[in-house]
Amino acid sequence: MRYAVLGTGIVGRTLAAKLSGLGHETVVGTRDPEVTLARTEPDGYGNPPFAHWQAGHPAVRLTPFAEASGRADTVINTTAGAASLEVLSAAGADNLAGKVLVDIANPLDFSAGMPPSLDPVNTDSLGERIQRAFPRARVVKTLNTMNCAVMVDPSRVAGEHEVFVSGDDADAKKQVEEMLLSFGWPPASIVDLGDITTARGTEMLLPLWLRLWGALGHGDFNFHIAGARPGA
Protein backbone atom coordinates (compact mmCIF):
# COMPACT_ATOMS: atom_id res chain seq x y z
CA MET A 1 0.00 0.00 0.00
CA ARG A 2 0.99 3.60 -0.55
CA TYR A 3 0.11 5.72 2.43
CA ALA A 4 0.03 9.49 2.78
CA VAL A 5 0.09 10.65 6.38
CA LEU A 6 -1.08 14.26 6.60
CA GLY A 7 0.47 16.06 9.55
CA THR A 8 3.99 16.20 10.97
CA GLY A 9 3.15 16.07 14.69
CA ILE A 10 3.71 13.15 16.99
CA VAL A 11 0.62 11.28 15.75
CA GLY A 12 1.67 11.59 12.13
CA ARG A 13 5.25 10.58 12.88
CA THR A 14 4.13 7.56 14.89
CA LEU A 15 1.77 6.34 12.18
CA ALA A 16 4.29 6.99 9.40
CA ALA A 17 7.05 5.15 11.24
CA LYS A 18 4.80 2.14 11.83
CA LEU A 19 3.51 1.98 8.25
CA SER A 20 6.98 2.40 6.81
CA GLY A 21 8.30 -0.25 9.19
CA LEU A 22 5.62 -2.63 7.91
CA GLY A 23 7.01 -2.17 4.41
CA HIS A 24 4.50 0.29 3.00
CA GLU A 25 5.58 3.17 0.79
CA THR A 26 4.83 6.05 3.13
CA VAL A 27 5.03 9.79 2.66
CA VAL A 28 4.24 12.51 5.16
CA GLY A 29 2.32 15.50 3.89
CA THR A 30 2.90 19.03 5.11
CA ARG A 31 2.07 22.53 3.88
CA ASP A 32 5.62 23.47 2.92
CA PRO A 33 8.37 20.86 3.36
CA GLU A 34 11.11 23.49 3.41
CA VAL A 35 9.47 25.33 6.28
CA THR A 36 8.82 22.10 8.18
CA LEU A 37 12.42 20.91 7.73
CA ALA A 38 13.87 24.31 8.66
CA ARG A 39 12.38 24.18 12.17
CA THR A 40 14.99 23.69 14.85
CA GLU A 41 12.85 24.12 17.97
CA PRO A 42 10.74 21.43 19.66
CA ASP A 43 7.03 21.65 18.88
CA GLY A 44 4.40 22.84 21.39
CA TYR A 45 4.32 19.37 23.00
CA GLY A 46 8.10 19.18 23.44
CA ASN A 47 8.69 16.81 20.53
CA PRO A 48 11.96 17.32 18.63
CA PRO A 49 11.79 19.13 15.28
CA PHE A 50 10.65 17.08 12.29
CA ALA A 51 14.07 17.07 10.63
CA HIS A 52 15.45 15.26 13.66
CA TRP A 53 12.75 12.59 13.39
CA GLN A 54 13.20 12.23 9.65
CA ALA A 55 16.92 11.62 10.00
CA GLY A 56 15.96 8.39 11.75
CA HIS A 57 13.34 7.49 9.13
CA PRO A 58 15.02 8.14 5.77
CA ALA A 59 12.53 5.95 3.89
CA VAL A 60 9.69 8.35 4.71
CA ARG A 61 9.65 11.32 2.35
CA LEU A 62 8.14 14.70 3.21
CA THR A 63 6.07 16.33 0.46
CA PRO A 64 3.34 18.96 0.11
CA PHE A 65 -0.18 17.78 1.04
CA ALA A 66 -1.38 17.53 -2.56
CA GLU A 67 1.62 15.57 -3.83
CA ALA A 68 1.44 13.20 -0.86
CA SER A 69 -2.26 12.54 -1.37
CA GLY A 70 -2.07 12.27 -5.14
CA ARG A 71 0.45 9.43 -5.04
CA ALA A 72 -1.19 7.51 -2.20
CA ASP A 73 -3.99 4.99 -2.26
CA THR A 74 -4.80 5.61 1.42
CA VAL A 75 -4.66 9.01 3.14
CA ILE A 76 -4.48 9.38 6.92
CA ASN A 77 -5.52 12.65 8.55
CA THR A 78 -3.48 13.24 11.71
CA THR A 79 -3.72 17.03 11.71
CA ALA A 80 -5.23 19.12 14.49
CA GLY A 81 -9.01 18.97 14.16
CA ALA A 82 -9.32 22.73 13.80
CA ALA A 83 -7.04 22.61 10.73
CA SER A 84 -8.23 19.36 9.16
CA LEU A 85 -10.71 20.70 6.59
CA GLU A 86 -8.25 23.31 5.37
CA VAL A 87 -5.47 20.74 5.12
CA LEU A 88 -7.70 18.34 3.19
CA SER A 89 -8.68 21.16 0.84
CA ALA A 90 -4.98 21.77 0.26
CA ALA A 91 -4.58 18.04 -0.41
CA GLY A 92 -7.26 18.46 -3.05
CA ALA A 93 -10.65 16.80 -3.50
CA ASP A 94 -9.48 15.12 -6.71
CA ASN A 95 -6.49 13.64 -4.91
CA LEU A 96 -8.83 12.15 -2.28
CA ALA A 97 -11.53 10.90 -4.66
CA GLY A 98 -12.18 7.17 -4.41
CA LYS A 99 -9.52 6.75 -1.74
CA VAL A 100 -9.78 5.54 1.82
CA LEU A 101 -9.40 8.58 4.06
CA VAL A 102 -8.59 7.50 7.62
CA ASP A 103 -9.55 10.28 10.02
CA ILE A 104 -7.70 10.13 13.35
CA ALA A 105 -8.20 13.79 14.26
CA ASN A 106 -10.31 15.17 17.08
CA PRO A 107 -12.03 18.56 16.87
CA LEU A 108 -10.45 19.95 20.03
CA ASP A 109 -11.18 23.63 20.55
CA PHE A 110 -8.58 25.34 22.76
CA SER A 111 -9.95 28.84 22.16
CA ALA A 112 -11.32 29.06 25.72
CA GLY A 113 -8.25 27.49 27.32
CA MET A 114 -7.90 24.17 29.09
CA PRO A 115 -9.56 21.75 29.12
CA PRO A 116 -10.49 22.06 25.44
CA SER A 117 -14.09 21.64 24.31
CA LEU A 118 -15.16 20.06 21.03
CA ASP A 119 -16.27 21.82 17.83
CA PRO A 120 -18.24 20.34 16.15
CA VAL A 121 -19.95 18.18 18.76
CA ASN A 122 -23.17 16.43 19.69
CA THR A 123 -25.25 16.83 16.51
CA ASP A 124 -22.25 16.69 14.18
CA SER A 125 -18.68 15.45 14.20
CA LEU A 126 -15.42 16.14 12.43
CA GLY A 127 -15.68 12.75 10.73
CA GLU A 128 -19.05 13.68 9.26
CA ARG A 129 -17.87 17.14 8.26
CA ILE A 130 -14.95 15.65 6.37
CA GLN A 131 -17.21 13.12 4.64
CA ARG A 132 -19.64 15.90 3.63
CA ALA A 133 -16.85 18.18 2.40
CA PHE A 134 -15.21 15.37 0.41
CA PRO A 135 -18.09 13.15 -0.71
CA ARG A 136 -15.90 11.16 -3.10
CA ALA A 137 -13.48 10.18 -0.32
CA ARG A 138 -14.26 7.03 1.67
CA VAL A 139 -13.91 8.34 5.21
CA VAL A 140 -13.23 5.97 8.09
CA LYS A 141 -12.94 7.39 11.59
CA THR A 142 -10.77 5.31 13.88
CA LEU A 143 -7.95 5.37 16.45
CA ASN A 144 -8.99 8.82 17.74
CA THR A 145 -9.80 7.54 21.23
CA MET A 146 -6.26 6.80 22.39
CA ASN A 147 -2.65 7.97 22.61
CA CYS A 148 -0.66 7.46 19.40
CA ALA A 149 1.78 5.07 21.08
CA VAL A 150 -1.16 2.77 21.81
CA MET A 151 -2.56 3.15 18.26
CA VAL A 152 0.39 1.31 16.72
CA ASP A 153 1.24 -0.93 19.69
CA PRO A 154 -1.92 -2.04 21.48
CA SER A 155 0.10 -4.40 23.67
CA ARG A 156 1.26 -1.35 25.64
CA VAL A 157 -2.09 -1.56 27.42
CA ALA A 158 -2.77 -4.65 29.54
CA GLY A 159 -5.76 -6.89 28.94
CA GLU A 160 -8.62 -6.38 26.55
CA HIS A 161 -9.32 -2.94 25.08
CA GLU A 162 -10.88 -1.75 21.86
CA VAL A 163 -10.48 0.41 18.79
CA PHE A 164 -13.66 1.80 17.23
CA VAL A 165 -14.38 2.15 13.51
CA SER A 166 -17.04 4.43 11.95
CA GLY A 167 -17.78 4.93 8.29
CA ASP A 168 -20.31 4.67 5.50
CA ASP A 169 -18.24 2.49 3.15
CA ALA A 170 -18.04 -1.18 4.17
CA ASP A 171 -15.09 -1.96 1.90
CA ALA A 172 -13.16 1.04 3.21
CA LYS A 173 -13.77 -0.12 6.79
CA LYS A 174 -12.59 -3.59 5.84
CA GLN A 175 -9.35 -2.16 4.48
CA VAL A 176 -8.83 -0.08 7.62
CA GLU A 177 -9.46 -3.14 9.76
CA GLU A 178 -6.67 -4.91 7.87
CA MET A 179 -4.37 -2.01 8.75
CA LEU A 180 -5.40 -2.28 12.40
CA LEU A 181 -4.74 -6.03 12.40
CA SER A 182 -1.28 -5.32 11.02
CA PHE A 183 -0.69 -2.96 13.96
CA GLY A 184 -1.39 -5.84 16.35
CA TRP A 185 -5.04 -5.23 17.20
CA PRO A 186 -6.75 -8.59 17.84
CA PRO A 187 -9.77 -9.13 15.56
CA ALA A 188 -12.18 -9.10 18.52
CA SER A 189 -10.85 -5.71 19.65
CA ILE A 190 -12.01 -3.94 16.47
CA VAL A 191 -15.55 -2.62 17.04
CA ASP A 192 -17.48 -1.45 13.98
CA LEU A 193 -19.94 1.08 15.42
CA GLY A 194 -21.74 1.70 12.14
CA ASP A 195 -21.95 4.68 9.84
CA ILE A 196 -19.92 7.88 10.02
CA THR A 197 -22.43 9.53 12.39
CA THR A 198 -21.15 7.18 15.10
CA ALA A 199 -17.97 9.28 15.07
CA ARG A 200 -19.90 11.65 17.33
CA GLY A 201 -19.71 9.05 20.07
CA THR A 202 -15.98 8.41 19.76
CA GLU A 203 -15.04 12.08 19.43
CA MET A 204 -17.13 12.78 22.54
CA LEU A 205 -14.92 10.35 24.49
CA LEU A 206 -12.16 12.95 24.38
CA PRO A 207 -13.28 15.03 27.37
CA LEU A 208 -13.21 11.93 29.59
CA TRP A 209 -9.95 10.77 27.99
CA LEU A 210 -8.34 14.12 28.81
CA ARG A 211 -9.53 13.97 32.43
CA LEU A 212 -8.22 10.43 32.82
CA TRP A 213 -4.91 11.44 31.25
CA GLY A 214 -4.67 14.18 33.87
CA ALA A 215 -5.64 11.83 36.71
CA LEU A 216 -3.34 8.97 35.65
CA GLY A 217 -0.41 11.14 34.54
CA HIS A 218 0.22 9.11 31.38
CA GLY A 219 -1.48 8.12 28.14
CA ASP A 220 -0.91 4.37 28.25
CA PHE A 221 -4.54 3.49 28.81
CA ASN A 222 -7.52 2.75 26.63
CA PHE A 223 -11.23 2.08 26.82
CA HIS A 224 -12.58 -1.44 27.15
CA ILE A 225 -16.22 -2.36 26.85
CA ALA A 226 -16.66 -4.95 29.59
CA GLY A 227 -19.46 -7.33 28.64
CA ALA A 228 -22.09 -9.37 30.36
CA ARG A 229 -20.93 -12.04 32.77
CA PRO A 230 -21.68 -15.44 31.18
CA GLY A 231 -25.06 -16.54 32.51
CA ALA A 232 -25.97 -13.05 33.71
Which residues, numbered 52-91, are part of the site for a second copy (CB under 8 A)? none
Query: How far does Cα 31 stand from its chain's mean position?
Result: 18
How far apart, in Å, are the Cα atoms of 12 and each of 4, 56, 144, 189, 190?
10, 15, 12, 23, 21
Q: How far apart are CB 143 and a second copy at their closest, in Å?
A: 15
For residue 223, is it left (φ>0), alpha (ψ between -120 and 50) or beta? beta
- Counting contacts by CB under 8 A, is residue 121 touching a second copy? yes
Residues 139-198 close enough to bind a second copy by CB under 8 A: 155-161, 164, 191-194, 198
* 3-class DSSP string for 41-72: CCCCCCCCCHHHHHHCCCCCEEEEHHHHHHHC
Q: Which of residues 213-232 bind a second copy (CB under 8 A)?
A: 214-216, 218, 220-230, 232
Sole window of 51-59, 81-89, 120-128, 180-188 interacting with a second copy (rule: CB under 8 A): 120-128
Binding residues (CB under 8 A) for a second copy: these are 112, 117-119, 121-123, 155-161, 164, 191-194, 198, 200-202, 204-205, 207-212, 214-216, 218, 220-230, 232
